[in-house]
């Protein structure tokens, strides 16, 4: 038995075995020491030197970035550098050392809490969030002061990298060839760590509770980024087992990737389009390499969130056009800005709402802020002249709202036509089906658009009334709930009756345990994270559509999650006895 097993979230799949080392451990406890009067000046020098050393490390990382990386990382490092040398931070801390004879660490800690107090009174959450940067910088200085050797990690260690959290700056100093895997205590599915690990194709876990407390560094670990857990000091049997799984997974992964370009057609000849969900044009190459036939969902909000000012039409157009051109003749489906809830983008602040998920978000926000909406619509329309572009509106609740959005789109088209600016007049326009009201109105909505795209994450949240971010109820967020299966079936039937196609673009599309249900509907298109495409295409090619239809007809009569889940499991074990162990499912199978 392993000494301990820690649970985490797998953000990049695979298995890694190796010794671990810490890059950083997060904020440690700071000793509160009063410095002797004759030592005050040397304590002050110690602080100044630490500040300069950390500033130099930011500046160094910043220099490395200039050529290769994008603007956001440069901006982050620039602001870290400014904060590091800020008179309010280092200056005030120095004053506390000299005037109150505090140790350097203590002085910094006190300074950070007084800055935090000032910031806590600021209404704008965007500015308030900068406090995180202050903490990160101060934490680095404190670690440097306390001589934490790991803070000066050269990145030359071989093995599994552990960290409290990874900042873009941290990640740049690392040598990816020597790192088999990542695990961090902080972070969620979309954190920087995950994006980095996926681009390096190494297994990674984030959100590993207890990581920094229960590990010292140097232990032998197994990172199981299939099941989302970390085994500390495994015994020989576990080691042997995992080495075997690792080998099998590597072989499996290589096999399915080799075949990723082949079309997704079931054994009995049913064709289904498999596309990718992306956030930026930079991912186009990954989409093609993974076997994506196009992009079923561009989350355009990432072009807004990762920056401080609103992008203008030209910028958006260039980004969208690059994407359309890179993937042509493949389709690229732009979802209009889906912001709101508590999210802040481009420094604009969405008002505090008691119930953000039910508040001014997505299409509602765009209809309220039509200047932003029009700029984006014009950019998408202009890009449509350069490839196979589609557009969809998120969170549509009914026909009236859809018509309003479409009338704004038509005005944008007229403006462009009047200015003789080219765009695709036949550009398909669709909606995201995410609200129960849209499910109920699917027949009327289908007559007004060219396609549906079912956003399963939100559809589940709104249909089952479950906030997946709330740990007390997260386990109830179940894609195989009978209500969800029936809702999707209704949407697919209504759409097909009106002759339009249906795509599924939530996490369900990447979940092997949901695939037979979706194939049975049958949906026309799946859109998922590029790294999951090879596996899903492989499964489709080895599925029997007829069996899936039979399964679905039973599932539609089933009253519980468990009964549907058992049916699916049975089918998968029967058809894919060898693949099942490599599946990563979003749903808990014990429900």
Partner 1 sequence: MTEDKVSGAEPGKGEGAEKTVFIQDELGLHARPAAKLAQAAQRFSSQITLEYEDMTVDAKSILDILSLAAGRGASLTIRCKGEDADLAAEQLERLFIMPPDMEQRAGNS
User: Which 352-381 residues touch partner 1, going by CB under 8 A?
Assistant: 371
By CB under 8 A, tell whether 124 contacts partner 1.
Answer: yes
Question: Cβ 375 to partner 1, closest distance in Å?
Answer: 9
Candidate list 366, 505, 514, 548, residue with the active-site label: 505
**Identified catalytic residue from 192, 386, 477, 538:** 192
Does the protein bind partner 1 through residue 415 (CB under 8 A)? no
Place of tokens 């299966």: 485
CA distance 42 to 104: 10
Residue 110, H or E segment: helix 104-120
Look-up of token digits 């508590």: 342
Q: Residues 6 or more apart from 104 whose CB is under 8 A from it?
A: 43, 44, 46, 47, 50, 93, 97, 145
Alpha carbon distance 470, 479 (integer Å): 17
Alpha-carbon 121 to chain mean position: 30
- The footprint of partner 1 on this chain (CB under 8 A) covers a number of residues equal to 27
Q: What is the Cα–Cα distance from 458 to 439, expressed in whole angstroms?
A: 12
Smallest gap from residue 428 Cβ to partner 1 (A): 28
Residue 312 binds to partner 1 (criterion: CB under 8 A): yes
Instruction: Tell which one of 44, 65, 115, 326 touches partner 1 (CB under 8 A).
Output: 115
Encoded one letter per residue, x for contact with partner 1 by CB under 8 A and - for no contact, window 267-296 reads ------------------------------
Among positions 2, 26, 119, 305, the unique one binding partner 1 when judged by CB under 8 A? 119
Site map (CB under 8 A) of partner 1, residues 78-107, x = contact: xx--xx--xxxx------------------
Part in contact with partner 1 (CB under 8 A); list of ranges 121-129, 407-415, 468-476, 496-504: 121-129
575 included as an active-site residue: no
Residue 113 in contact with partner 1, rule: CB under 8 A: no
- Give the list of residues 6+ apart from residue 240 with CB closer than 8 angstroms, or none: none
Closest CB to partner 1 among residues 82, 232 = 82
CB of 340 to partner 1, least distance (A): 17
Count CA atoms within 13 Å of residue 124 on its CB side.
Answer: 9
**Nearest approach, Cβ of 193 to partner 1 (angstroms)?**
23
**Which is nearer to partner 1, 131 or 328 (by Cβ)?**
131
Joined tokens for residue 77: 């490092």
Residue 52 near partner 1 by CB under 8 A? no
Nearby residues of 132 by Cβ (< 8 Å), 6 or more positions away? none
Tokens, residue 163? 């960290």
Binding residue for partner 1, selected from 27, 53, 74, 75, defined by CB under 8 A: 75
SS3 sequence of 204-255: EEECCCCHHHHCCCCCEEEEECCCCEEEECCCHHHHHHHHHHHHHHHHHHHH
- 394 within 8 A of 338, measured Cβ to Cβ: yes
By CB under 8 A, which span of 19-27, 120-128, 192-200, 570-578 interacts with partner 1?
Answer: 120-128
Among 37, 66, 123, 355, interactor with partner 1 by CB under 8 A? 123
505 is catalytic: yes
| 576 touches partner 1 by CB under 8 A | no
Burial 457-472 (b: 16+ CB within 10 A, else e): bbbbbbbbebebeeee
Supply the minimum distance, in Å, between the C-beta of residue 53 and partner 1.
20
- Residues 388 and 481: their CA atoms lie apart, in Å, by 35
| Residue 116 near partner 1 by CB under 8 A | no
Q: Give me the residues that bind partner 1 (CB under 8 A), please.
A: 75, 78-79, 82-83, 86-89, 115, 118-119, 122-124, 126-127, 130, 134, 308-310, 312, 346-348, 371
Q: Which sequence positions are flagged as catalytic?
A: 192, 505
């Amino acid at each position: 038995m392993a000494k301990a097993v820690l649970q985490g979230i797998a953000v990049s799949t695979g298995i890694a075995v190796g010794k671990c080392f810490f890059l950083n451990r997060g904020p440690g406890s700071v000793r509160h020491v009063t410095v002797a009067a004759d030592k005050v000046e040397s304590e002050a020098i110690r602080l100044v030197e630490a500040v300069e050393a950390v500033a130099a490390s930011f500046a160094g990382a910043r220099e490395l970035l200039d050529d290769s990386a994008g603007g956001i990382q440069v901006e982050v490092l620039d602001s870290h550098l400014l904060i590091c040398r800020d008179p309010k931070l280092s200056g005030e801390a120095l004053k506390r050392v000299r005037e109150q004879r505090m140790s350097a660490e203590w002085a910094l800690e006190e300074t950070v809490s007084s800055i935090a107090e000032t910031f806590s009174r600021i209404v704008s959450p965007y500015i308030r969030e900068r406090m995180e940067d202050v903490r990160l910088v101060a934490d680095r200085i404190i670690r440097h002061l306390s001589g934490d050797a790991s803070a000066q990690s050269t990145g030359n260690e071989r093995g599994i990298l552990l960290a409290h959290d990874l900042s873009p700056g941290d990640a740049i100093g690392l040598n990816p060839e020597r790192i088999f895997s990542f695990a961090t205590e902080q972070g969620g599915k979309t954190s920087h760590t995950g994006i980095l690990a996926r681009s390096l194709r190494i297994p990674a876990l984030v959100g590993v509770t207890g990581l920094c407390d229960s590990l010292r560094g140097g232990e032998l670990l197994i990172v199981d980024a299939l099941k989302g857990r970390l085994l500390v000091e495994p015994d020989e049997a576990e080691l042997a087992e995992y080495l075997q799984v690792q080998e099998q997974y590597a072989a499996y992964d290589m096999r399915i990737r080799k075949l990723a370009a082949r079309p997704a057609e079931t054994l009995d000849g049913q064709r289904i389009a498999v596309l990718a969900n992306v956030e930026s044009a930079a991912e186009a190459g990954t989409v093609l390499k993974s076997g994506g036939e196009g992009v079923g969902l561009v989350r355009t909000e990432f072009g807004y969130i990762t920056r401080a000012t609103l992008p203008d039409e030209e910028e958006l157009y260039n980004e969208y056009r690059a994407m359309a051109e890179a993937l042509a003749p493949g389709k690229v489906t732009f979802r209009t800005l889906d912001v709101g809830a508590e999210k802040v983008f481009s420094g604009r602040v969405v008002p505090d709402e008691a119930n953000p998920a039910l508040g001014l978000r997505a299409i509602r926000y765009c209809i309220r802020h039509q200047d932003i909406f029009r700029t984006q619509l014009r950019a998408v329309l202009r890009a449509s002249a350069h490839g196979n572009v589609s557009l969809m509106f998120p969170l549509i609740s009914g026909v009236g709202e859809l018509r309003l959005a479409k009338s704004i789109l038509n005005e944008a088209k007229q403006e462009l036509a009047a200015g003789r600016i080219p765009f695709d007049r036949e550009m398909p326009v669709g909606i995201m089906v995410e609200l129960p009201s849209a499910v109920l109105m699917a027949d009327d909505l289908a007559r007004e658009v060219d396609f549906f795209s079912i956003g399963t994450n939100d559809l589940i949240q709104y249909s089952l009334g479950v906030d997946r971010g709330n740990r007390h109820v997260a386990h109830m967020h179940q894609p195989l709930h009978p209500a969800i299966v029936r809702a999707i079936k209704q949407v697919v039937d209504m759409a097909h009756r009106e002759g339009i196609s249906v795509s599924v673009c939530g996490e369900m599309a990447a979940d092997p345990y949901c695939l037979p249900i979706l194939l049975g509907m049958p949906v026309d298109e799946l859109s998922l994270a590029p790294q999951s495409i090879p596996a899903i295409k492989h499964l489709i090619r080895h599925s029997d559509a007829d069996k899936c239809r039979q399964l679905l007809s039973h599932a539609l009569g089933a009253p519980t999650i468990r009964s549907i889940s058992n049916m699916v499991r049975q089918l998968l074990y029967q058809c894919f006895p060898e693949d099942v162990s490599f599946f990563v499912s979003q749903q808990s199978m014990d429900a």
